[in-house]
Chains A and B, each alone.
Chain A
Amino acid sequence: KAGVTQTPRYLIKTRGQQVTLSCSPISGHRSVSWYQQTPGQGLQFLFEYFSETQRNKGNFPGRFSGRQFSNSRSEMNVSTLELGDSALYLCASRMDRNQPQHFGDGTRLSIL
């Protein structure tokens, strides 16, 4: 069974630009969550989608948005990029509540 796939693996952008990250969950998993990981802040929750609906949202500004498609694939968009947005962005999927999350290897976003 294929794992969670995130694309691209690495991305370099400049301030003010926007970016879209993609996540393909494990087949059969309907819940997709996004996290930002930085050395100083650790793992921070962005949002969770279930069956195309946002089920939960973390404390990030509106520049961070996401969506989930009918095939459970998800995208995350960040507009007006700032230097502080440099991080590893992780996507995780699971069947439903009380099931373990399975993570992708992330997208390393660097803002110049």
Chain B
Amino acid sequence: LAKTTQPISMDSYEGQEVNITCSHNNIATNDYITWYQQFPSQGPRFIIQGYKTKVTNEVASLFIPADRKSSTLSLPRVSLSDTAVYYCLVGDLGGDKLIFGTGTRLQVFP
């Protein structure tokens, strides 16, 4: 599993766009990039997954440059309920390969 590096924390205000960048220099050719959101005492919630370029769903966008050594999770117009920890993972996420790092703690203020 490729090692990932992301900021420990970020602050934002309601209505703003938030971009969280993750570095994964050792990403392998077949690796996908996956982002999860987690609230206290709840299971991680799958947000988005991508391989290259840009992926968009109803809650977020994922931007992946051509070299795939980093990725950016974009949350449009955040609200207070987006306050959570966001995790970036790379590679196959099965079984014992699923390792959540410290993630990025996003705090949204009114």
Chain A positions within 8 Å of B, measured between CB atoms, are 4, 31, 33, 35, 42-43, 45, 47-48, 55-56, 58, 88, 90-92, 94, 97-98, 100-106, 108
Are the CB atoms of A33 and B43 closer together than 8 Å?
A: no
Known: A43-B99, A92-B98, A103-B46. 10 other contacts (CB 8 A): A31-B94, A43-B100, A45-B96, A94-B94, A98-B92, A100-B46, A100-B49, A101-B94, A102-B46, A104-B43
Per-residue contact bits, chain B 62-94, to A (CB 8 Å; 1 contact, 0 not): 000000000000000000000000000000111
CA A42 – CA B44 in complex, angstroms?
12
The chain A residue with its CB closest to the CB of B47 is A100
Chain B positions within 8 Å of A, measured between CB atoms, are 30, 32, 34, 41-46, 49, 92-96, 98-100
CA A90 – CA B49 in complex, angstroms?
21
Q: A94-B94, A101-B46, A102-B46 are in contact. Are A108 and B32 (CB under 8 A)?
A: no
Are the CB atoms of B49 and A56 closer together than 8 Å?
A: no
Contact of B95 among A33, A88, A91, A98 (CB under 8 A): A33
